[in-house]
A and B are shown apart, each in its own frame.
Chain A
Amino acid sequence: GAGVSQTPSNKVTEKGKYVELRCDPISGHTALYWYRQSLGQGPEFLIYFQGTGAADDSGLPNDRFFAVRPEGSVSTLKIQRTERGDSAVYLCASSFRARETQYFGPGTRLLVL
């Protein structure tokens, strides 16, 4: 069975541009999570979806970051007016239900020039 997939695997953009990062969770998983991993650090939580709704968005660093999951499956993380400090690996994870094992995707490596 397919695991969590993320596209693109790499994204290079210029400061000030808008980017979208996509996550396809494991089929049937109701919970979806976004994390951000900077170089030499562990993943940091951004947002958690249960179904279509964002149940916890306390990790989003500011209002330039936004995520959606309109049909309760695929999710898109959107970053407006990108800054160099946004450069990181963005990880997506999914779990069958809340409180269960989170399965991670390979990540999208974002580089803002």
Chain B
Amino acid sequence: GNSVTQMEGPVTLSEEAFLTINCTYTATGYPSLFWYVQYPGEGLQLLLKATKADDKGSNKGFEATYRKETTSFHLEKGSVQVSDSAVYFCALRIQGGSEKLVFGKGTKLTVNP
């Protein structure tokens, strides 16, 4: 089946630290890959996406590269801010298949000043 595994949280960093949140996937077809973010008290928002191998998605200083050979889509940011504190979800959708998003369990990030 289709599934997403992301690193267990919570993750606690100091401001300006480097962030990596690992995400790997299993897919029966060719997936599009996504990172969603949920800020405290808000709904899920799309952070970035990539639709084919070697594509890099980027937004708000976050980046993730679609690695087909390692079935991974790790999220990175060079210098986190307190405002980045949120829960981050990795997700996939099979191209040409169902419309549904398949999510990982989420990783809670706390950034301290």
Contacts and interface: CB of A to CB of B under 8 A. Distances in A.
Q: Is the interface of A mostly helix, strand, loop or mixed?
A: loop
Interface in A91-113: 91, 93, 98-99, 101-107
A85 interface: no
A106 B43 contact: yes
B105 A59 contact: no
A45 B100 contact: yes
A42 interface: yes
Interface in B74-94: 89, 91
A101 B102 CA distance: 14
A106 B42 contact: yes
A105 B91 contact: no
A104 B44 CA distance: 6
B112 interface: no
A3 B44 CA distance: 12
B101 A98 contact: no
A79 interface: no
A99 B9 CA distance: 30
B106 A42 contact: yes
A91 B43 contact: yes
Interface string B90-113: 010000001111111110000000
B42, B89, B99: most-surrounded residue (chain A CB, <10 A): B99
A19 B100 CA distance: 24
B45 A58 contact: no
A48 B100 contact: yes
B45 A104 contact: yes
A56 interface: yes
Interface of B: 4, 36, 42-46, 49, 89, 91, 98-106
Given A43-B101, A98-B99, 13 more contacts: A3-B43, A33-B101, A42-B104, A43-B103, A45-B100, A48-B99, A58-B98, A91-B43, A93-B44, A101-B46, A102-B101, A104-B43, A105-B43
